[in-house]
């Protein structure tokens, strides 16, 4: 029997072919093969929101090839990804490969009478890892397309199309042509804009802290003292408020003049720190951002490659579950490599925070922790991160010895005089790692973005007793300033969206990419900052469509889509409940909303043709600067984004530029006089070093 298996990508097809014999023909659909048309809304809102799907011009050859291969097959197996998108792709494939369905006659695939005995049909299989065991298990239990997941995907796609194609023309009319709006992307922009406004309103205030160095006689060696740091915690029972340098200096003198500093409290205890859970999609994106500086899109592209090569499980998931066999293999490896003391008595399980695990049944893990994997570059970095996290989550707790001390003046035998609060109270803590546990393999903290092994604990509090006399040897005043809330990074934005219940594993990366591609948000040193355009569009939408951008409302829509996927809600009713009030409100706004002027970003540059100031504009290929005298003066120039590197040919600044297709490269700012260019910053540095060593600059290569 001839069997055709269809997956999404050639890489995935190649990996499957390693496990299956010649009886199987494996081919790729190259992603979605049918979608709503770009030229019109493509949804019949008057008749049950019926979508008008089409095969785009660039997909017609692929569909023709798939149909030709399907005609020669007795069995067609749809093996697309195990989530809503994958289920929808399978459904579209089944439609296009069933010629009678295309003609609108019936839902089952056309059966050639000559091959009827072979039972030619279409089946669906799913698997969460591309391994021989998983594939053969899936093939032995074929099923049908899950229409609940298909309907959930359709509902999201149609909902986003209606919002985008209805709101965008309004933005063109009231603000500027070429703008767009989206249900989730606009909420993400709102978060970034509101954070920026918090930063703008924030008033920075000066304050000082007082650290102190105390000495006690060493318990280990005679005639030797132990020193340790503490911080002033209270003055006469109240938290100190030190506003200026003068106040800090005065307090320093007072503290140095005080006598009888003694230990009023000492505590030593064992503190256990549990490992992080295994990776979900959002946690992987956050860790890769914090540790490698990667964007969500880059992380998902690398993870997709690892999955399609059969190296990790499916990478779009919000579940912490791990396969029992995988846990057993991890425990076996840990015992063999690190010792039995690194294995807890029972496997560790982690509770998923979100409502159910909609997209996959497992967390992201290596498919085989015992395998020797030979990969390089980004793939190696991300695989190692996933590998280490998976082992760590099944290891024993890290154990610390933590000491805390309080030192006060006016202490006599450990008791306060007259039962009154001491004049000055200092506190200090220190921790020493006693047993590494899971930190043996995952020795860094994604929150603080550094390797723990590189952080030395310079302050170790010695063994003390209540009543021990201490000598104040040094007072260290330190100036600080209150800090505004930080701008979002991609990692912290994903975390915020997840906490609000907005978006799902498959939506984080495209949402963040979209708001940057449309120039509503831009990156400054990995931080997301709203553009003037982004703030203008956000303010307009918040004024007239605050309900659509409401966080709870958007999270409620996501929950409704989850209910559709679980079969508890009808997808058409979800759309009806949202769309018709939205359409009514939109029609009212068309006439009443005021036209908004977008303030253009100014520059320090003067037009060399007419002498007027140059301003920043946004065109088809991104930002550029243009004469403010347009249309009388049409002078334009590219924006020169300096990268703090000099040209190895002529010494001028090197600037970042974009090709027409959006690819970033680095060029000499003196172009066309100097033609140096490079694709990567590393190539600029290499060229500089080459010149220093007596060579020539390396030219741009494709």
What pLDDT shows up at residue 170? Answer: 93
Position 457 scores a pLDDT of 54
Residue 102 has pLDDT above 60, yes or no: no
Q: Directed axis angle between helix 508-517 and helix 490-500, to 10°? A: 120
Residue identified by tokens 């970042």 is: 656
The contacts found for 464-467 with CB under 8 angstroms, 24 or more apart, are 464/216, 464/263, 464/266, 464/405, 465/263, 465/266, 466/263, 466/264, 466/265, 466/266, 466/414, 467/262, 467/263, 467/411, 467/413, 467/414
Report, as an integer, the average pLDDT of 625-639. 86
Q: Which helix (H) or strand (E) holds 272?
A: strand 262-273
Is the bond preceding residue 672 a cis peptide, omega within 30 degrees? yes
Q: Please, what is the angle between helix 490-500 and helix 551-565, to 10°?
A: 70
Average pLDDT over residues 632-644: 79
And the tokens for 539? 């303010």
pLDDT band at 660 (very low <50, low <70, confident <90, very high): low
pLDDT score recorded for residue 621: 63
635 near 610, Cβ under 8 Å? yes
Report H helices in 471-626: 490-500, 508-517, 532-544, 551-565, 571-592
User: Residues 508, 359: contact at Cβ < 8 Å?
Assistant: no
- What is the C-alpha separation between 80 and 442, in angstroms, rounded? 33
User: Highest mean pLDDT: which of 107-116, 215-224, 456-465, 686-695?
Assistant: 456-465
pLDDT in tens, 611-622: 899 888 877 666
Check pLDDT > 90 for residue 702.
no
Region of poorest pLDDT, from 18-22, 235-239, 568-572, 665-669 = 665-669
Are residues 677 and 665 in contact, defined by beta-carbon separation less than 8 angstroms? yes
- Res 303 pLDDT > 90: yes
Determine whether 611 is exposed, middle or buried from the number of CB atoms within 10 Å of its CB (0-12, 13-18, 19+).
Answer: exposed
Q: Residue 598 above 90 pLDDT?
A: no
The two tokens of residue 323 are 């396969």
**Catalytic positions, please?**
314
Binning pLDDT at 50, 70 and 90, where does residue 688 land?
low
Q: What is the reported pLDDT for 193?
A: 97
pLDDT confidence tier of residue 673, bands split at 50, 70 and 90: confident
| pTM for this model (two decimals) | 0.82
Residue 329 has pLDDT above 90, yes or no: yes
Who has greater pLDDT, 323 or 108? 323
Is the pLDDT reported for residue 487 higher than 70? yes
pLDDT-based confidence at 113, cuts 50/70/90? very low
Comparing 117-131, 349-363, 446-460, 568-582, the range with the smallest average pLDDT is 446-460
Burial class (CB in 10 A: 0-12, 13-18, 19+), 181: buried
pLDDT tens for residues 114-161?
A: 333 334 589 999 999 999 999 999 999 999 999 999 999 999 999 999
Average pLDDT over residues 46-61: 94
What pLDDT was estimated at residue 679?
Answer: 79
- Of 349-358, 489-498, 652-661, the poorest mean pLDDT is in 349-358
Helix (H, G, I), strand (E, B) or coil at 344: coil
Q: State the average pLDDT over residues 21-26.
A: 90
The reported pLDDT for the residue numbered 105 is 33
271/472 Cα distance (integer angstroms): 29
**How do residues 390-436 score in pLDDT, each as one tens digit?**
999 999 999 999 999 999 986 443 434 444 455 899 999 999 999 99
How far apart are alpha carbons 483 and 502 in whole angstroms?
28
- 137 or 109, greater pLDDT: 137
As a whole number, mean pLDDT of residues 216-244 equals 86
83-92, 172-181, 559-568, 598-607: which range is least confident on average? 598-607
Predicted confidence at residue 109, as pLDDT, reads 34
Average pLDDT over residues 39-65: 94
């Amino acid at each position: 029997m001839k069997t055709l298996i269809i997956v999404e990508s050639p890489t995935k097809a190649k990996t499957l072919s390693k496990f299956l014999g010649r009886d199987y023909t494996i081919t790729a659909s190259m992603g979605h093969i049918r979608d709503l048309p770009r030229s019109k809304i493509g949804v019949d809102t008057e008749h049950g929101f019926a979508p008008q799907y089409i095969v785009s011009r660039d997909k017609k050859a692929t569909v023709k090839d798939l149909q030709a291969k399907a005609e020669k097959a007795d069995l067609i197996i749809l093996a697309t990804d195990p989530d809503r998108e994958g289920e929808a792709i399978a459904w579209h494939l089944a439609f296009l490969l069933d010629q009678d369905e295309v003609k609108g006659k019936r839902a089952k695939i056309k059966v050639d009478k000559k091959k009827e005995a072979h039972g030619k049909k279409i089946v669906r299989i799913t698997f969460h890892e591309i391994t021989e065991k998983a594939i053969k298990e899936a093939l032995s239990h074929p099923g049908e397309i899950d229409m609940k997941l298909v309907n959930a995907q359709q509902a999201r796609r149609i909902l986003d199309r209606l919002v985008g194609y209805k709101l965008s023309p309004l933005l063109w009319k009231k603000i500027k042509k070429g703008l767009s709006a989206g249900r989730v992307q606009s909420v993400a922009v709102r978060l970034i804009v509101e954070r920026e406004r918090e930063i703008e309103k924030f008033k920075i205030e000066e304050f000082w802290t007082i650290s102190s160095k105390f000495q006690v006689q060493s318990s280990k060696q005679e005639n030797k003292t132990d020193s340790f740091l503490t911080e002033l915690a209270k003055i006469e029972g109240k938290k100190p408020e030190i506003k200026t340098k003068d106040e800090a200096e005065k307090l320093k003198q007072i503290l140095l003049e005080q006598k009888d500093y003694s230990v009023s409290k000492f505590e030593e205890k064992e503190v256990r720190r549990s490992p992080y859970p295994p990776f979900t999609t959002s946690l992987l994106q956050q860790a890769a951002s914090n540790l490698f500086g990667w964007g969500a899109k880059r992380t998902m592209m690398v993870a997709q490659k690892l999955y399609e090569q059969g190296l990790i499980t499916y990478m779009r998931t919000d579940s912490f579950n791990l396969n029992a066999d995988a846990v057993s293999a991890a425990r076996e490896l840990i015992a063999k490599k690190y010792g039995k003391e690194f294995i807890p008595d029972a496997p560790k399980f982690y509770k998923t925070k979100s409502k159910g695990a909609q997209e996959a049944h497992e967390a992201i893990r290596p498919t085989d922790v015992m395998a020797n994997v030979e990969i390089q570059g980004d793939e190696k970095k991300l695989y190692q991160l996933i590998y280490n996290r998976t082992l760590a989550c099944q290891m024993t707790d890290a154990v610390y010895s933590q000491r805390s001390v309080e030192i006060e003046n006016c202490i006599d035998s450990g008791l306060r005089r007259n039962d009154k609060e001491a004049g000055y109270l200092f506190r200090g803590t220190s921790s020493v790692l006693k047993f590494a546990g899971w930190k043996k393999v995952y020795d860094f903290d994604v929150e603080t973005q550094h390797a723990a092994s590189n952080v030395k604990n310079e302050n170790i509090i010695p063994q003390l007793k209540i009543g021990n006399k201490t000598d104040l040897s040094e007072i260290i005043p330190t100036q600080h300033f209150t800090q505004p809330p930080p701008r979002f990074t991609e990692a912290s934005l994903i975390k915020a969206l997840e906490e609000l219940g907005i978006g799902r594993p498959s939506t984080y990366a495209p949402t963040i990419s979209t708001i940057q591609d449309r120039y509503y948000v831009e990156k400054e040193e990995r931080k997301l900052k709203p553009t003037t355009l982004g703030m203008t569009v956000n303010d307009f939408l918040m004024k007239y469509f605050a309900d659509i951008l409401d966080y709870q409302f958007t999270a409620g829509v996501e929950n409704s889509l989850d209910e559709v996927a679980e079969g508890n809600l009808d997808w058409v009713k979800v759309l009806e409940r949202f769309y018709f009030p939205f359409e009514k409100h939109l029609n009212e706004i068309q006439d009443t909303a005021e036209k908004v002027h977008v303030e253009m970003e100014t520059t320090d540059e003067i037009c060399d043709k007419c002498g007027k100031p140059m301003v920043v504009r946004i065109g088809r290929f991104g930002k550029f600067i243009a004469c403010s005298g347009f249309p009388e003066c049409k002078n334009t120039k590219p924006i020169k984004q300096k990268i703090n590197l000099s040209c190895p040919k002529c010494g001028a600044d090197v600037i970042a530029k974009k090709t027409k297709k959006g690819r970033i490269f680095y060029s000499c700012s003196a172009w066309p006089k100097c033609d140096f260019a490079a694709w990567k910053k590393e190539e600029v540095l290499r060229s500089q070093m080459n010149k220093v060593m007596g060579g020539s600059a390396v030219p741009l290569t494709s």
